[in-house]
Amino acid sequence: MPRTLHLIKHGKPRLIPGIPAHEWELADDALEHLDGLIARLSPPPHLIVSSFEPKAQATAAALAATLGVPHRPMHGLHEQLRYTAPFHADPADFEADLRRFFEHPTQIVSGEESADDARTRFANAIQAALHANPHDTLAVVAHGTVISLLVAHANRLDPWPLWRNFGLLDAVTVDVPGLRLREPMR
């Protein structure tokens, strides 16, 4: 029987212009629907691993505390590097940047990391997490762009629609090995 990997997108961040997204914390209401997320995690994870970004760590810590399982932050699970990407007050501008990012995966079109480089780095970190934590069911709390890149690549899908439909405090479940989707992303 394959192992289960739940890839979870962090809760809603507090957007702060002038502060890199990697440093954003959760908004006050970010975890209001944590119970709904937990209900979709079947089977429930034995361990929660997360990115070191504050919004992912806080989401993972709350999830782990509610489930009564350990939480371990791990390097390499961060979002695509965007330290020099502009802050977009208009979500449409942000989406346009991401669309170019997905359409030109070998090029650095926004921030400091191409889509291919971000996916490779994230995939290596996921494999390291799976190797270091041989539980039957593992959850990783990370970020929408890198999760979409990984899942799309493993399932031969377009990452753009995956990213567009992947909400905050949402999860996708895949089988290990192979990272095959158990069910289509909403």
Helix/strand/coil for 158: coil
What secondary structure, in 3-state letters, does 81-94 show? CCCCCCCCCCHHHH
Q: How far does Cα 19 stand from its chain's mean position?
A: 20
Q: Could you tell me if 15 and 180 are in contact, meaning their C-beta atoms sit under 8 angstroms apart?
A: no
Number of domains within the chain: 1
Flag whether 96 is in a domain: no
Contacts of 163 (CB under 8 A, 6+ apart): 98, 102, 144, 145, 148
Flag whether 27 is in a domain: yes
Q: What is the pLDDT of residues 140-182, one digit of tens each?
A: 999 999 999 999 999 999 999 999 999 999 999 999 999 999 9
CA angle 60, 61, 64 (to 5 degrees): 80
Flag whether 58 is in a domain: yes
Quote the DSSP letter at residue 25.
Answer: -
Flag whether 71 is in a domain: yes
Flag whether 161 is in a domain: yes
Flag whether 166 is in a domain: yes
Flag whether 17 is in a domain: yes
The residue-averaged pLDDT of 75-98 equals 88
Q: Which domain holds residue 13?
A: 1-77+136-142+153-177
What's the pLDDT band for 186 if we cut at 50, 70, 90?
low
The CATH number of the domain holding residue 49 is 3.40.50.1240
Q: What is the pLDDT of residues 71-81, one digit of tens each?
A: 999 999 999 99
Distance between CA 63 and CA 41 in Å, rounded? 11
Instruction: Give me the pLDDT at residue 185, please.
Output: 62
Flag whether 83 is in a domain: no
